[in-house]
Amino acid sequence: MSNQSYRDSQFLDGLSGEELFSMQIGLTYRDFLVLPGFIDFNPSDVELETRLTKKIKLKRPFVSSPMDTVTESAMAIAQALMGGIGIIHYNNSVEEQVAEVSKVKRFENGFISDPVVLGPKNTIHDLDRIKETLGFTGIPITADGTRNSKLVGIVTNRDIDFERDRSIPVEKVMTTEVITGKAGITLKEANDIIKKEKIGKLPIIDKDGKLVSLVSRSDLKKNKEFPDSSKDENKRLRCGAAVSTLPESRDRVAALYEAGVDVIIIDSAQGNSIYQIEMLQFIKSNFKNLEVIGGNVVTRGQAENLIGAGADGLRIGMGPGSICITQDTMAVGRAQATAVYQTAAHAAKHDVPVIADGGISNIGDIANALAIGASACMMGFMFAGTSEAPGEYFYENGIRLKKYRGMASIEAMKAGGDKRYFNEGQKVKVAQGVSGSVVDRGSILNFIPYLSLGLRLSFQDMGFRSVQDLHQGLRQGKLRFERRSESAQAQGSVHSLYSYSAPSLRAE
């Protein structure tokens, strides 16, 4: 019997997706299991490429949420390097959000157009602080300590490593005979200089000796180190940004478009509104090459309205997040697995991908979301504790933590998060989210490979080699499911032990 015959066996246990979700009860990812398929391939054979929107493809089905404790430029850069995408939050001014997007879009160009610089009177201590907060050294020194002024030197690790007095001005230790490139040279020419001179940083100056940009040796390695990077047609890292449905967001979209943003997410807790439909139509009419994701929605009717208005993708979820209390507070929403399946099944008829947003706390949740029709998963909790997430680490009871808050928490609404809840300007604010903290998970650059390998192993157990194959199996009824009782859920987790050590999600 051939492998294909094994896979097409008539002995099908369990339920099809349609049968599972035809039950008149809302299901979460924990309420069912995917039954195992036939294995005739290795985990390395699994292809995780997927679609974010009709036109945008990703190498990994991971999207970081537009929350102010999750995604700014550092997160978006790391996500794109690893094959996913980050969505910059809008709890900021238009100028601040545009600056964050611009940092991502410029990152892989090779030329760093906004390098960190210091002046001659800055101290070695200032360099130490930059290294601690930003993780790099090799700082150009300009005459007045600002960009676009005359380059007078550069300070690298070898200049300061053995200096005990960290209060020494950098002018006493900096290298003044700096190897530079002239403005207008190509990236290849800059790379050749770096290789020939064996230097880490190459400042680019204009005819007056003013600093224009910087090329870093570490950036030259990125194409080799990150072959699955999410890039646009100009080889720049992809980046998304969130906007509200308020009139001011029209100017925000225009500014983000000029900055090169790849996709706009219209960020509403309940996306089935005239405000969002009008915003969708405005964006699609005025920025024809800009992809737009609508949401959040949880029903087929909601999905139909936004697809009809021009949405290139949909964001699914209302209340399932770990810091979201919408379902308790508003008594409105839907169990997340049911929401994903029903909206994905309807959106597939229009060739519109959906993003499962919320309720994901481990690899199994990601696998289940993809198995029931999602093309990608948006995560806040999973990425909030990483080193690339905004905010500083702090310790509590000896545990290293970072702050994490819902965009409907009182804290976030005061900063502007209420724009997504149609209650802006209200003196009395009703919280639909909470603030908390999450454990340090290390760097995204280590965490994503862990998630990717786990997902490949899950696909192997299911018997499918790609997201596309998985969705085809779902539609054809070959992917089989089974409901889990509460007892089965308990038995499927750790149990009956005197004690045990739980695996850590920290990326070492």
Q: Is 229 annotated as a binding residue?
A: no
Q: Is 23 annotated as a binding residue?
A: no
Say which range, 164-168, 437-441, 484-488, has the weakest mean pLDDT.
Answer: 437-441
* Cβ count near 136 (within 10 Å): 14
Q: Is 321 annotated as a binding residue?
A: yes
Res 431 pLDDT > 80: no
Summarised one tens digit per residue, pLDDT across range 113-126 is 678 888 888 888 88
Q: Is 380 annotated as a binding residue?
A: yes
- Produce one character per residue of 231-242: b if its CB has 16 or more CB atoms within 10 Å, e if not: beeeebbbbbbb
Q: What strands lie across the sheet with 111-112, from one edge to the other?
A: 111-112, 211-216, 201-205, 181-182
Determine whether domain 12-107+229-489 maps to CATH 3.20.20.70.
Answer: yes
Fold type of domain 124-225: CBS-domain (3.10.580)
- Location of structure tokens 């724009």: 419
Q: Is 294 annotated as a binding residue?
A: no
Res 449 pLDDT > 70: yes
Q: Is 239 annotated as a binding residue?
A: no
Res 454 pLDDT > 90: yes
Say which range, 73-77, 78-82, 306-310, 404-408, has the weakest mean pLDDT.
Answer: 404-408
Please tell me if the domain spanning 12-107+229-489 has the same topology as the one spanning 124-225.
Answer: no
> Averaged over 258-271, what is the pLDDT?
94
> Averaged over 278-302, what is the pLDDT?
95
Res 5 pLDDT > 50: no
Of the CA atoms within 13 Å of residue 311, those in its CB half-sphere come to: 32
Query: What is the structure's pLDDT at 24?
Result: 85
> Averaged over 468-475, what is the pLDDT?
97
Q: Is 487 annotated as a binding residue?
A: yes
Res 406 pLDDT > 70: no
Query: What is the structure's pLDDT at 267?
Result: 94
- pLDDT-above-70 percentage for the chain: 85
Nearest to 61 by CA among 48, 77, 44, 80: 48
Q: pTM for the full model?
A: 0.75
Place 3 in a pLDDT band, splitting at 50, 70 and 90: very low
Say which range, 276-280, 321-325, 385-389, has the weakest mean pLDDT.
Answer: 321-325
* Cβ count near 492 (within 10 Å): 12
Residues designated catalytic: 324, 420
Structural domain boundaries of the chain? 12-107+229-489, 124-225
Q: Is 145 annotated as a binding residue?
A: no
